[in-house]
């Protein structure tokens, strides 16, 4: 899959840095330094929306549970179905960790 949209050397360096994080505590430390709290919360919210969409929950239910706007829910749904498969990859891996 071609990821030309966001691929550049600085983003690759960022992703390399993220892949070097060894545990949740290091993730907290790094993301607290590199992002605002709002940015981290927005990413977490989108992941929660994706999980709920995969469960078949309604927009109303998702909006009430997460505080996400219907525009955000719609955008996440579009990427779940027509994006680069990133949500699906991580949601499958998270599901596997729950089952262990």
Q: What 8-state DSSP symbol labels residue 35? A: S
Residue 7 tokens read as 């691929």
- Cα 40–Cα 46–Cα 91 angle in degrees, nearest 5: 105
Are both 48 and 83 inside the same structural domain?
Answer: yes
Q: Which burial class, exposed, middle or buried, applies to 42 when counting CB atoms under 10 A from its CB (0-12, 13-18, 19+)?
A: middle
Q: According to the model, what pLDDT value does residue 4 have?
A: 66
**Domain limits for position 4:** 1-34
Confidence at residue 67, expressed as pLDDT on a 0 to 100 scale: 97
pLDDT, one tens digit for every residue, the chain (100 residues): 555 678 899 999 999 999 999 999 999 999 999 999 999 999 999 999 999 999 999 999 999 999 999 999 999 999 999 999 999 999 999 999 988 7
CB–CB of 80/43 below 8 Å? Answer: no
Number of independent structural domains in the chain: 2
Task: Round to whole Å and give the CA distance between 98 and 100.
Answer: 6
Q: What is the pTM of this model?
A: 0.88
24 lies in the same domain as 62: no
24 and 56 in a common domain = no
pLDDT on residue 3: 58
- Say how far residue 34 (Cα) sits from the centre of its chain: 16
Domain co-membership, 30 together with 41? no
Residues 93 and 46 in one domain: yes
C-alpha distance from residue 78 to each of 28, 31, 52, 66, 74 (Å): 29, 26, 14, 18, 6
Specify the CATH number for the domain of residue 81: 1.10.1270.10
- Is the same domain home to 10 and 54? no
18 and 6 belong to one structural domain: yes
């Amino acid at each position: 899959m071609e990821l030309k949209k966001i691929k550049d050397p600085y983003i690759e360096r960022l992703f390399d840095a993220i892949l070097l994080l060894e545990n949740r505590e290091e993730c907290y430390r790094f993301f607290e330094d590199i992002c605002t709290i709002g940015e981290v919360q927005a990413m977490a919210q989108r992941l929660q929306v994706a999980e709920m969409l995969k469960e078949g929950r309604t927009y109303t239910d998702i909006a009430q549970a997460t505080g996400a706007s219907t525009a955000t829910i719609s955008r996440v749904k579009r990427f779940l179905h027509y994006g680069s498969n990133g949500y699906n990859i991580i949601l499958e891996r998270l599901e596997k960790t729950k089952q262990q």
